[in-house]
Structure 1
Amino acid sequence: MRSPDRFLLLFLSTQLCLRSLVAEPFDYPTAAPSTSWTNNPSLENNFTYADGSMVRAILLCSSNPSFEGLSFAAGFFCNAACDAFLFAVFIVYTDSGAVIMDPVMTASPQVVWSANRDRPVRENATLHFTEDGNLVLRDADSTVVWSTNTSGRSVLGMNITASGNLLLFDRKNASIWQSFDHPTDSLVPGQTLREGQRLIANISTTNWTRGQFYLTVLADGLSAFVDSSPPQVYYIRSFSGPEAKNKSAYVTFTNGSLEFFDSFTKRGVPDENITLPSASSVQHMRLESDGHLNVYGWSYQTGWNVVDDVTSQELDNCAYPTVCGEYGICSNNGQCSCPGGTNSGSNYFRPINARQPNLGCSPVIPLSCQSLQDHQLVALQDVTYFSSLLAVEYGTYFPSVASLNLKTEESCKQACLKNCSCKAAIFQYGQNTSDHGSCFLPWQLFSLMNNQPTVTHYNSTLYVKVQIVPRTTNGTLNSPTSRKKVMGVGVILGSTIGALFAVLLVVGLFVLFMRKKNSNMEEEDQFDQVPGMPTRFSFEELKVATKNFCKKLGEGGFGSVFEGELGDMRVAVKRLDGIGQGKKEFLAEVETIGSIHHVYLVRLIGFCAERSYRLLVYEHMCNGSLDQWIFYRNQDVSLDWQTRCRIITHIAKALSYLHEECRQRIAHLDIKPQNILLDDNFNAKVSDFGLAKMIDRDQSHVMTRMRGTPGYLAPEWLTSRITEKVDIYSFGVVVMEIVCGRKNLDYSQSEESFHLISLLQEKVKEDRLLDLIDNHSNDMHLHHEEVIEIMQLAMWCLQIDSNKRPSMSTVVKVLEGAMNVETCLDYNFVTTTPVMSSNVNHLDASPQQSASLLSGPR
């Protein structure tokens, strides 16, 4: 650790705790800019616990006398394996000399905040407190993993307070940045969770990555959700009184209570609180990976123990969404089983693991959107869903519901059968009549539960959707329902075709007349009809925000992108440079990305549609587009292998969401490095939805003109019969570009090598894939076995026959190690079918490349 003379620093080797410039009741240490720490045994205050976990403290405060030897510290932490480290704030036990120890051999450190839970670092990672006041965490290979982004904000020093808050402060003792504003999965006494903030549980006790449970403060109370599309609530604690709807609510955790406040409550007087066991020493609260909210207390005799489960005060154990896995039924005695059915003697579900029934169940025949006519609802007697109980108690339904206005049981069932995303129909009867109630249509079905004998004030029925296979004899359907459908088609068409033709003729003439009369008005008004409309800005507002469009960040297929500021927020403003075709792409982008939200999709903040001006306002991605980092145009910086893997995984998760988790399948149709943006931590987000196409769940394909960018287009574009599988082909091309560090079509290469996918085809047949690995990166060659596996995944995505390509959810499973790559692959990735000029003339694409190519030579 380097220490400049002009600042007073704490040297951990002396075990002293100096008073900071910020007032606190206890002394705590301070560090100054231009200081670095390296994650290795050279850090003076480190300790290995009996369970194998380790702490290497950077800032360690002398223990609070009322905390029986417990202290807050900031530094590096690893769990039992110690192959990955967090930069974290943790609670440790210290002796009177502020030396870390373990008095009972079971008191492992308690992590209450971490900076890099999704990106652990290795031995010899560094934490650098830069001269301009930015705290930066870099991995051992110098890759930036995390930063406070506080450069140039007059930061004087860093400290950790006696309450466990890691602070960066200025010369006026004001907080510039603090860990309390960025909670992870825990709260410590005195910490506040404000409206909109979340506690997000880890995936497991050994995997720190963010899991699917989160706790948040809403305007009307404290709620816990399991993340799905959309999120499903499983716990609610409402604020009392008419003031509950105000938008300044917050919750403060103290030793002995969880206090609720809203803006109308007198200062220091809680609106109400949850009483917790009184504590003789420090407590902390953690949202666990199973959805429980546990309070931990310290005992000198036994170490850390759970002293209370806040959510269990109101929830039965079976009311937690994952207690028995997806589709699993939790019984009163805590046992898990798979659904049976009263419709037939068939078994539609089986346990994922018969020896571990709590892992859940899976359908014997997976649901397929290609055959909605073979979907069927199976009634489950005396079974309900956790959100049904909340509906009874609070008299409303929550975001787990796809429809709110279905008042009869039959309409609820039919709505589910018509929606491929629906996994079950749960109908809640009204209290007075049997023909009136409300309907749940969850898109992801978590654990079910047997009706509790003590609950008698409500009545609900649950139907779970299954896939059936109709029996055939000599190719004919045996199902009476199917035969009736086939016979009815001709009757319906014959009886309506004449009337339909006449109606269409009249409507067509009327539309042409109205379009001619009100074309300008219609063009602008259509944006008022976009569902989930983002913020609409005036052109003048965006002109001011971008300082008259003075700083160009880059150019896309239909416009230029400029940097701007809206208040304290940096934004990227995309301005359409042309008219005509670009307007259609503009509307497509607003409609598509304006109504969907995902961590790996660039967030659309707003738009402008004013006269001839068309602009889109996005979140700013400070590291620009992926092509700038893998094609080495303007710099020689090489991304390490782990960063490239993470980028590939993020792209895959974004496409999996678009293809499989939205109400309609969304085909992006222009996946390429220029449309993959990187944030300050090199997390990847998919952008530019100007060419996107919606595909209904019951459609096998859509017919559309060729659109996309030459070099990334799948072979089936020649037929114009398109599915989301074209994105998977483009993804395969992008993966090869990432691992090879070059463009698919690179005309600076020799004639034999200018087309990467053709070159891949030759190298795999010669068993010389190592020749393709990016020569700019030694790290890539050190991990050549993993790189080859990713190439195999890319080749699976590059199959000419789209039916042989994996789904994007399968790609994600392969990247996460849950599945292996298909071994029976066709290594001919380039079709020899010529491209017809008429098709090329209809190519909706960026003009950056003019070659009449799909994925390459034909």
Structure 2
Amino acid sequence: MAGSWISGGRLGLVSLLKLALLAVRTSSAADLITANQSLSGEQILVSSGAGDFVLGFFSPTRSGSRRFYVGIWYGKVSRSEKKVVWVANREAPVSDPAASELAISGDGNLVLIDQSRTPVWSTNTSAGGGSAAAVVAELLAGGNLVLRDAVNSSRIFWRSIDHPTDTWLPGGKVGLNKVTGENQRLTSWRSSEDPAPGIFSLEIDRNGTSQYLIFWNRSRVYWSSGPWNGEIFSLVPEMTRNFVYDFKYFDDDTENYFTYSVKPSFNLTTRFVMHVSGQIKQFTWVDNSQQWILFWSQPRAQCDVHLLCGPFSVCNERIAPHCGCLRGFEEASPASWILDDHTAGCRRRTPLLCADAGAGEEDEFYEMANVELPDDRRSVPAASTGECAAACRGNCSCTAYAFDGGCSVWYGGLANLRQLGDHGGRLFLRLAASEFTGSKSGEGKIVGAAVGAAVAVGALMVTLLALLWRRRRRRRFSALRVADGGLVAFWYGDLRRMTKNFSEKLGGGGFGSVFLGTMAEGNVVAVKKLEGIRQGEKQFRTEVSTIGTIQHVNLVRLRGFCSDRSRRLLVYDYMPGGSLDHTLFGDQAAPTVGWKTRYQIILGIARGLAYLHESCRDCIIHCDIKPENILLDGEFVPKVADFGLAKLVRRDFSRVLTTMRGTRGYLAPEWISGEPITAKADVYSFGMMLFEIISGRRNSEEKGEEENQAGFFFPSWALRKLGEGDIAALLDPKLKGDANLEELERAARTAFWCIQDDDSSRPSMTQVVKILEGFVEVGMPPPPRSLRLLGEAPESIAFFSSKPGSCSSAVPDGGGVSAGAQPKSASLTTPAD
């Protein structure tokens, strides 16, 4: 063996010694750096225990830039992408990790030395005793890098978790040291590829109150969590002390801070991040889908982040990305915009001239409608829009004006300008005259030249345009592409070709049929032809564009739409798992979906609905939740689909009065009584569907055992079984009792809470998610009166028929009322006792 090494490798003695030393250094102590060891190049430390975290050199850039940092990231989850939780040298990257070292210095500190042998980062502590041999650096199981005594592991001199960057891990502190004045804050990255301290930070209130604040540039507060009451933050109920998380607040003479931990009985990976978007976000890793799920974020609206888009730009919740330059402006730093850092804002393409510039032209004003007016307005006397415009035009520093009974003007950059949907004010933006077509000085020349050109080449142009039009029509389908996060406005002919003239039908319902289609690049899609939808062109496009911008793992992705005369079509990603009703009630020869998968389906649907209700700019009420409208991907991850009936509700409205929509068997009582609805209508439908997922059968169908076949209604029967404590009886017989009974009871109780007669008694979908995840305990629900009446009047079950289709009347076919029972419509609007 020795001879073969020498003859085949041609390695010198020095090289062999280096290789041997490298092997020792990388294998002797995977979680430690000692006085005789260091870390460089591609070497890593793996945390003690299960090896959940890794420390080493990394580069966050995708452009090949030579900027490297020492950081800690997840080692087992999210392997396809490094999720970095801590960075040592945020402001001092090194260019050559192979020639740089992370090592114990002679004075007992952990230091990073770059390729020129210059220290660029240090733990900077004097507690180590001033001796390299006396200390070691260890990466602990929770992702905490510690500098400790080499012999006594309980003597800790420094902890990375006490110096957080943008991520708050369990066990860490976010607070204030009253003695040293050090503020343990979370500070965002500068951009998605630059871990240097950004402009947004989360920290505890410096005045000593028990609340968190998000700062812009460490100077302006734009969000508060509200005070901590021992259980929750008053303005962030999601950030709660519950059965999974244990939040604790400490306040004494030396410090006040928050810390949290995950209960040992839960195998949960979670992280809080001060994101580059200016929002604080909590992510949880889901093993089944192998991805991070956004649990909550604050502030809820992205455009509430102060100066997110910088000066002379507009923030729009309805599109992605949210920031865009105003007319006549361009990105001040295009490279930063690509990396999701819009804080530099935009700059003018053409300088203003002003009226006295002697150029013969005056600056003009461009009207922007439906905007939330920017900050820092100043009032000037003016009795009309014309006087207000003149006041702004007469001052070269004036950049915009607005008149709404009074005149407001703005100087300098416009900050926090927000585009609204169909309300808001009008802003008149000052632009150079050349930004408008047909300026006064050149109008005659431009018109004359255009007329002459049109006369000279008119016939040729008509012929050429006709040829180009025909060629474009032939090639449009093959050239069609979908931009990331965008929607395509399809031509009807395109969709007809994609679906081979709508030849392969996937399914259908009361509001349209779905067909299989293939896009030019090979992506398989589902094309739904909406029928019976009466929205106007503008309303249809507005609602579709809103739904199209939302992104969530439990919402089906909308690719595009078609609005061609009276035709309305939607194009979605194709889901190979089909619809949930086929999985639950379809061919008995198909494999039975087990309880564990069913529970994950239930939880995924709840998360998707919670996102629609709580996390979008407008509350989106789906209005037709049922198994037919839940699609499954190849891994049984549920996707809420079919937004053809969805209703958008502005956040400043608690209820909306709309025409009845939905499917019999899943309709909430308020639909029947004609009352204004809320998102709780979806909660009711979710509850009715939850019974069907549990039982594996339609809520109304023949039982054939101890109940009258004609009058059997599963929720009424389940209520009795739940009261008797016979939880196992509720389970789908095909599962043969193989289920977690604690989860089963939790799901059943949740379903009954969801179908309470009074919508105020129903939980929100966010609360439903917490209940299903085990964060919140759920008590025994009161019996809904509608179920008690159904138990007394079996023939009234016809109202709850779950056959697919739209509900066009508040009274079921036949309209019968049983003896001793109230009319069906009345029984459904009576609050529960």
| Structure possessing the higher radius of gyration over alpha carbons | 2
Q: Give me the TM-score of the superposition, normalised by structure 2.
A: 0.47
Q: Give me the TM-score of the superposition, normalised by structure 1.
A: 0.45
